[in-house]
Amino acid sequence: MDFRNAYAHGFARVAACTLPVVMADPARNAEATIEQVRRLHDDGVAVALFPELGLSGYAIDDLHMQDVLLDEVDRAVVAIAKATAGLTPVVVVGAPLLIGNRLLNCAVVIHAGEVLGVAPKSYLPNYREFYEKRWFAAGDDAVDTLINRPHWPGADEDGDLAYGTDLLFEATDVPGLTVHVEICEDFWVPIPPSSRAALAGATVLLNLSASPITVGRADDRHLLARSASARCNAAYLYAAASEGESSTDLSWDGMTMVYEMGDLLGESERFPSGPQATVVDVDLDRLRQERLRQGSFDDNRRVEGIGEPGGESFRVVAFELEPPTGDIGLRRKVDRFPFVPDDEARLAQDCYEAYNIQVSGLEQRLRAIGQPRIVIGVSGGLDSTHALIVAAKAMDRLGRPRTDIIGFTMPGFATSDGTKSNAIHLMESLGITFETLDIRPAATQMLKDLGHPAGDGEEVYDVTFENVQAGLRTDYLFRAANQRGGIVLGTGDLSELALGWCTYGVGDQMSHYGVNTGVPKTLMQHLIRWVVSSGQFEGEVNGTLTEILDQEISPELVPTKEGEKIQSTEDSVGPYALQDFTLYHVLRRGYRPSKIAFLAQHAWSDAATGDWPAGYPEGERPAYDLETIRHWLEVFVRRYFSNQFKRSALPNGPKVVAGGTMSPRGDWRMPSDVSSAAWLAEIERNVPTA
């Protein structure tokens, strides 16, 4: 595998371009187009989109029907086709073309020295400032499926080329790269041609536009492009006309943008001086995986009759792209924390929703089973802290006293004074009922009964030593819940479940309701920060929450001597930042390990580049090299597969993030005895160590 090459990982580089036009001078417009295409070739671009009627100019009115102009447009198409020989990009340019007795507003698709096909505009605006029906015929009722241009490179032996609104241009050597073209007004109608093309298999939807600018129109374009890309599980490229178009009655802003499944990948400066191009890498795997998961997408195709007997069909024009090899970089933002937005306002919104999803889920569970008390183990760590403040807010909203929450702090052999103190301070400041229950005598007795050396004081700190403590804590919580009319509120999070970092059965894997099971570890600290910043609680609560945020993540099960580093969860299972990165792309995207490693390298190789979530401490911003990424990726795969049995017996709990959950009743179903061999072999084959 060409590991560092973006095309090898399912990406395709695309460009939405605009450039100054010279009205009614196709030769000069062709020269400018060719110059830009050559630059895009050097940049590794696969698809280059240009504006509507870019060869002639859009706002030339009756000159569209002049023979001199049409002859020059014809020559311009040939010139561009010949100039693209040996170049990578599929070039899509706008041109008025005479077909039969009518003039059509067309997109000409060109690649590697040949014209691949011609797509006419289906819907012609003839209202307000638009007057297109004076010059053009609508392409949606075209009878012919071929256009005859014997002198155009790419024409067959009869001089014909593919023509119509039903053309899909498919790269045979870039899986998933299937292009459809529509023009301007086509995406302003209720059912755009691109929607049906997407159902037929198009993944990259292009819109050549002229689109004179008026106040507010740019927002409308964003709305439509974002919507089209989201509904169609596709990429949507848009390019509008720029300087040089007539300003007799209108003005032009040269807007270009690319959306992918509702996400804006890039846009160019508006009202530019000179050529502009939005160049980004589209994730074809993401589009394919989303369509694979969303079965209703293909159901819609079937109901609409696309590809069905007697229904609408699309023609495929195949071509070989020959994409660039080697490291060409990656032209898209890769979030370090896919569960945590970088944008501060978006993060606050996500935290508001996540917190209230958890609170309302717990409220409903309490109402449904007769308003029991809540029994919870409070360690002073992130997860139990967050579960407790969710419980407190649920009680507030239900109009119940917080004393109906019974918190237990249960020090074991390695519990630090700091975490114990934080746990007690938090419970005191929240005003819940709480007790301290020292599990060490019972744990020592159990170890002794088992014949474990630690029962006699020997320093043997194995998994049994750890799980005796974890199991006793949960056992006590369940018995206390029986005794006091309560339910055990689980505190374990989504990341721990993915990695199997929990004790099965009578352990922290089990509870009556798992309020945190839909929350990844990397989001947890931001949720607690949001609770503080948004003033969910008063008094001393916020100060204690802030102290808890500063602690290292540790299970505190193995004793350490003075001067020794405390037991660290991340030393065992890996940095949660990396493991949550992998979790998201496995759970939500279904990506190969090699692609995850490729993305992780781009996201994590340099701490000084890219965005960090608001509030992330500057002194704690790590970087990871490829060797480290590969190591923890292998750990993730091994643990993820071997611990499915814990997730198969998961208690109820609300789904929180769109990235998914581990619930066997929700997002994730997998046999408990399946092998990880194929995934580990893929890492071995395709991910280098450096």
Secondary structure of 286-344 in the HEC alphabet? HHHHHHHHCHHHHHHHHHHCCCCCCCCCCEEEEECCCCCCCCCCCCCCCCCCCCCCCCH
pLDDT band with cut points at 50, 70 and 90 for residue 479: very high
Q: Are 218 and 226 in contact (CB under 8 A)?
A: no
- Mean pLDDT for the stretch of residues 380-405: 97
Q: Is the pTM here over 0.85, yes or no? A: yes
Given this model, what pLDDT does residue 555 score? 66
Known catalytic residue at 106 = no
**Percent residues over pLDDT 70 in the chain:** 99
The two tokens of residue 11 are 């990406």
Given this model, what pLDDT does residue 617 score? 83
Given this model, what pLDDT does residue 554 score? 66
Given this model, what pLDDT does residue 140 score? 85
CA–CA gap between residue 591 and residue 43 (Å, rounded): 26
**4-30 pLDDT per residue, tens:** 999 999 999 999 999 999 999 999 999
**578-605 pLDDT per residue, tens:** 999 999 999 999 999 999 999 999 999 9
Q: Are 147 and 139 in contact (CB under 8 A)?
A: no
Q: Is the pLDDT of residue 687 over 70?
A: yes
> What CATH number is given for 344-686 in this structure?
3.40.50.620
Q: Is the pLDDT of residue 190 over 90?
A: yes
Given this model, what pLDDT does residue 18 score? 97
Do β-strands 11-18 and 276-283 pair in parallel, antiparallel, or remain unpaired?
A: antiparallel
Of 17, 72, 121, 182, the active-site residue reads: 121
CA–CA gap between residue 193 and residue 173 (Å, rounded): 26
Average pLDDT, the chain: 95
The two tokens of residue 303 are 């109901």
Find out whether 533 is annotated in a ligand binding site: no
Domains 6-319 and 344-686 share a fold: no
Q: Note the Cα 551 to chain centre separation in Å.
A: 30
Beta bridge partners of 48: 15, 91
Of 17, 52, 170, 232, the active-site residue reads: 52
State whether residue 258 is helix, strand or coil.
strand
pLDDT band with cut points at 50, 70 and 90 for residue 341: very high
Q: Is the pLDDT of residue 553 over 70?
A: no
Given this model, what pLDDT does residue 241 score? 93
Find out whether 238 is annotated in a ligand binding site: no
Find out whether 17 is annotated in a ligand binding site: no
Q: Is the pLDDT of residue 569 over 90?
A: no
Given this model, what pLDDT does residue 552 score? 67
Find out whether 384 is annotated in a ligand binding site: yes
In this structure, what is the dihedral angle of CA atoms 452, 453, 458, 464, given to the nearest 10 degrees? Answer: -30
Q: Note the Cα 186 to chain centre separation in Å.
A: 27
**240-264 pLDDT per residue, tens:** 999 988 888 888 899 999 999 999 9
Find out whether 67 is annotated in a ligand binding site: no
CA-based max dimension of the chain: 102
pLDDT band with cut points at 50, 70 and 90 for residue 560: confident
Give the full edge-to-edge strand order of the sheet including 263-267: 263-267, 256-260, 235-239, 204-208, 178-183, 167-171, 315-319
Q: Which of 258, 269, 268, 267 is nearest to 228 (CA)?
A: 258
Fold of the domain spanning 6-319: Nitrilase/N-carbamoyl-D-aminoacid amidohydrolase (3.60.110)
- Mean pLDDT for the stretch of residues 548-554: 74
Of 184, 393, 521, 634, the active-site residue reads: 184
Find out whether 642 is annotated in a ligand binding site: no
Find out whether 448 is annotated in a ligand binding site: no
Find out whether 361 is annotated in a ligand binding site: no
**192-224 pLDDT per residue, tens:** 999 999 999 999 999 999 988 889 999 999 999
**648-681 pLDDT per residue, tens:** 999 999 999 999 999 999 889 999 999 999 999 9
- Mean pLDDT for the stretch of residues 363-374: 98
Known catalytic residue at 351 = no
Q: What are the residue boundaries of the structural domains of the chain, listed by start?
A: 6-319, 344-686
- Mean pLDDT for the stretch of residues 52-80: 96
Pick from 279-293, 391-405, 546-560: least confident: 546-560
Alpha helices in 188-320 (DSSP H): 193-199, 217-231, 284-293, 295-304
Find out whether 154 is annotated in a ligand binding site: no
Amino acid, single-letter form, for residue 402: R
φ/ψ region of 241 (left if φ > 0, alpha if ψ in -120 to 50, else beta) reads beta
Given this model, what pLDDT does residue 313 score? 93
- Mean pLDDT for the stretch of residues 361-365: 98
Instruction: Tell me how long the chain is.
Output: 690
Find out whether 380 is annotated in a ligand binding site: yes
Q: Note the Cα 616 to chain centre separation in Å.
A: 21
Known catalytic residue at 184 = yes
CA–CA gap between residue 289 and residue 121 (Å, rounded): 30
